[in-house]
Amino acid sequence: MPSDFPTDKFFPNADKGTNPITGSVADPSNSSMGNSANNIDSNNPVETVVEESNDLAHFFELSSDLFVIGDGNGHLRRVNGAVVEALGYDRDELIGQGLFSLVHPNALAANHTSFVKALTLGGRESHRVQGRWRRRDGSFCWLEWSFVGVSIGEIVSLYGVGRHIDPQKKQEAIAQKIEHQLNEELALYGELMRELPIAINIWQLQDRDDERSLLLISTNKAARKNVGLGDTKVLGKTIMECFPDVPKEELKRLGQVARRDMSDYFYQATYTYPGEPLARSYDVWLFSLPQNCVATVFEDVSDRVHLSQKLRHSEGIFRAVFEQAPLGFARMSPEGYWLETNNKLCEILGYSPSELQQKNFQAITHPEDANQDQIIYLQLLSGAIDTCVLEKRFLHAQGSFVWSNVSVSTLRKDNGDVDCFIVIIQNISDRKAMESAARQQSEKLRVLNTRLARTARTLDRRNEELQQFAYVVSHDLKAPLRAISGLSEWLEEDLKETLPEDSREHLQLIRSRIGRMGNLLDGLLEYSRVGRKQIEPDTVVVADLLQEVIDALSPPLEFQINILGEMPELQTRSISLQQVFANLIGNAVKYCDRDDGKLKISAEDQGEYYAFCLEDNGPGIDPRHHGKIFTIFQTLNPRDKVESTGVGLAIVKKILELEGGEIAVESEVGQGTKFTFTWPKASVTFDKDSGQVN
């Protein structure tokens, strides 16, 4: 059998049978190499003793311990059955085998040292060594040997007793692995404790009867930072040195937990530290530990407490808003039942909270709105939509229907299912009633506009007929008048030699009356034309328009017309405004009974209108006649005294009415006259076909 033991390294004279200890050459006949156990030199007293002692031989063979006998060269001379069983070789394979050819290379040096010492010291001392030995199948097993060397004369023998230590080594390996894991875990736990954001202190009670003897033996960063311990120099200090103001009740609890007089304890505490304006809140746990120790764990819950306070405050506000809001608020289940309602909702629907909680929303929905509600409800439930706003009718407890604006929002669970619906309901019955009334009013207005348009068209036709009538009357009446005037002139000319003076005056009076009649006919025609023709508004600079009117009237030089302040600029029909000013200024000039006649014209902004004032210093008008002066053909003075048709102010009033303005007079006899009229800043137009005012 080949050997991997380096014999020449450890036993350089092994091939010569040289004893590595004495250096003598052994007798080849005494070598056990290649010999069986029966070829033992009978002159060796030790072997003789062994063979002669049957009891010792049986012990050698039957022992569960491993026994080997080798020579001074390290070759096996004898092995017992336990060795055969342990290594798996046949006995013959082992006899003569180099002892160290069976040792694992890693254990070779240690085994050789033990072997040399055993041979050197003889039987005075055994040497123990552990190592892995190779089995026949190539595997290795752990064996522990005790070697002793014995020299009898020149014969040197090596005796070894061994035992299996595989289980022990396995246990040691397991123990080492466990110890390594424990060390790693302890290091991890230590690091975890140091870096844990929760404050941890460990105190040891030095005197079981005195809680003040609690000594700080361990802490972490969070404790030093958040619990006011400062740096690591606090280790080894008493609790009174660390926290001079610790409450007695807390100190007592620490001692009780350290002595195990009470179980682990939890409480909440609030502390105020110097330099911090706000108190800090902690959750505190006390845990008993061996050797009269107690661990205090502080979790800073200040933010959580403050947040909780804010949430309670917000919840209080929400609850107040929920209960006092002018709108109906409710929580509704996914099945459509009212879970929670406020007072306003109960008021809107006429039910008590308990009555509503027994009803599904569909049970109090108007039948005509039920289908719309069901569609929206299914969309909310499926997640197709999360919010909606709709108008619907609810059934009031008294049987009537309540129009409501309903806003619905969905609150969902983490898995996406509906948790509840938030419903906001506003009573819009009044608005709906107003809308209905507005629709009815709109329909009435539409009918009225239609009638007005029809009436306007009829009025337009009649105005045209009236205009035609006025023209015909004027034309037909003027022709005879002209004929009469012409005949009177002919008579006066033919009879000028014989015509008496009174007859001549009569003929002149006839012609004067004919002229007056012509003027009346012209005034009638002009009055009938007012408002008949639609004129589009244009930009009018009132100051320029007044100057044009004054120039056209050519008042006497002694009559003064003063325009006070700035005159406005309007978007209006200039011809209509020109007619108004022309009649009012013309009357002031015509009826002035003074040589120093004066007229003041001013304007005042009154929002949507301008108020124009024309004030003269003429004879004035008796207040009894203020209403009469705007009637057509009405004059205050005899026409023989002041020629007038009585149409001018009637035309002014008609124009102002058409434009949406008004006129008023202030006057006393002998105190002059003040006319004030309003004129819109923007003129309106009327569409006769549609009946619409623009």
pLDDT in tens, 53-65: 667 777 888 888 9
Q: How many residues in total does the chain contain?
A: 694
Of 679, 547, 543, 546, the residue nearest 612 (C-alpha): 679
Share of the chain above pLDDT 90, in %: 28
Which pLDDT tens digit goes with each residue over 440-490?
A: 998 888 888 888 888 878 777 766 766 666 666 666 566 676 777 777 777
Please report the pLDDT score of residue 308 as a whole number.
80
Please report the pLDDT score of residue 490 as a whole number.
78
Task: Answer yes or no: is pLDDT of 613 > 90.
Answer: yes
- 462 vs 527 pLDDT, higher one: 462
What is the average pLDDT across 165-190? Answer: 83
Q: Count other Cβ atoms within 10 Å, centred on residue 574.
A: 18
Report the alpha-carbon distance of residue 77 to residue 46 in Å, rounded: 13
Let me know: does 411 contact 420? Beta carbons within 8 Å. Answer: yes
What is the average pLDDT across 614-633? Answer: 81
- 18 vs 693 pLDDT, higher one: 693
Please report the pLDDT score of residue 123 as a whole number.
58
Report the alpha-carbon distance of residue 75 to residue 96 in Å, rounded: 5
Cα dihedral 525, 527, 533, 536 in deg (nearest 10): 140
Q: Tell me how far apart the terminal alpha carbons of the chain are, to the nearest angstrom.
A: 130
Which pLDDT tens digit goes with each residue over 650-676?
A: 888 888 888 889 999 998 888 899 999
Q: What is the CATH number of domain 534-680?
A: 3.30.565.10
Let me know: does 680 contact 656? Beta carbons within 8 Å. Answer: no
What are the domain boundaries of the chain?
7-164, 196-305, 325-427, 433-516, 534-680
Task: Answer yes or no: is pLDDT of 634 > 90.
Answer: no
Please provide residue 126's backbone torsions phi and psi, each rounded to the nearest 5 degrees: -95, 155
Please provide residue 400's backbone torsions phi and psi, each rounded to the nearest 5 degrees: -80, 175
Tokens of 652: 């002014």
DSSP 8-state symbol, 681: S
Please report the pLDDT score of residue 397 as a whole number.
92
Task: Answer yes or no: is pLDDT of 647 > 50.
Answer: yes
3-state helix, strand, coil in the chain (%, to 5): 45, 25, 30
Let me know: does 558 contact 668? Beta carbons within 8 Å. Answer: no
- 192 vs 621 pLDDT, higher one: 621
Report the alpha-carbon distance of residue 673 to residue 619 in Å, rounded: 8
Pick the CATH number of 325-427 from 3.40.50.720, 3.30.450.20, 3.30.420.10, 3.40.50.300: 3.30.450.20
Same fold yes or no, 196-305 and 534-680:
no
DSSP 8-state symbol, 16: G
CATH architecture of 7-164: 2-Layer Sandwich (3.30)
Relative orientation angle of helices 648-659 and 501-529, to the nearest 10 degrees: 0
CA distances from 110 to 118, 521, 607 (A): 12, 157, 123
155 confidence band (pLDDT: 50, 70, 90):
confident
Please provide residue 245's backbone torsions phi and psi, each rounded to the nearest 5 degrees: -100, 20
Of the listed ranges 6-15, 235-244, 577-586, the least confidently predicted one is 6-15
pTM, two decimal places? 0.36
What is the average pLDDT across 521-525? Answer: 59
Share of the chain above pLDDT 70, in %: 79
Please report the pLDDT score of residue 316 as a whole number.
76
Let me know: does 548 contact 500? Beta carbons within 8 Å. Answer: no
Which pLDDT tens digit goes with each residue over 332-360?
A: 999 999 998 888 899 999 999 999 989 89
CATH architecture of 196-305: 2-Layer Sandwich (3.30)
Report the alpha-carbon distance of residue 426 to residue 402 in Å, rounded: 10
Positions of E strands within 318-400: 328-332, 338-341, 387-395
Of the listed ranges 70-84, 143-157, 561-575, 637-651, the least confidently predicted one is 637-651
Beta strands 338-341 and 328-332 are: antiparallel
Report the alpha-carbon distance of residue 203 to residue 297 in Å, rounded: 11
CA distances from 179 to 166, 169, 184, 192 (A): 19, 15, 8, 19
Per-residue b or e along 87-98, where b marks 16 or more CB atoms closer than 10 Å to that residue's CB: bebeeeebbbbb
Report the alpha-carbon distance of residue 676 to residue 664 in Å, rounded: 5
H or E element, residue 479:
helix 429-494
Per-residue b or e along 99-131, where b marks 16 or more CB atoms closer than 10 Å to that residue's CB: bbbbbeeebbeebbebbbbbbeeeeeebbebbb
What is the average pLDDT across 128-155? Answer: 86
Of the listed ranges 71-75, 518-522, 538-542, the least confidently predicted one is 518-522
527 confidence band (pLDDT: 50, 70, 90):
low
Let me know: does 540 contact 664? Beta carbons within 8 Å. Answer: no
What is the average pLDDT across 87-96? Answer: 91
Report the alpha-carbon distance of residue 66 to residue 611 in Å, rounded: 140
What is the average pLDDT across 606-619? Answer: 92
Report the alpha-carbon distance of residue 318 to residue 306 in Å, rounded: 18
Task: Answer yes or no: is pLDDT of 382 > 70.
Answer: yes
Please report the pLDDT score of residue 72 as a whole number.
79
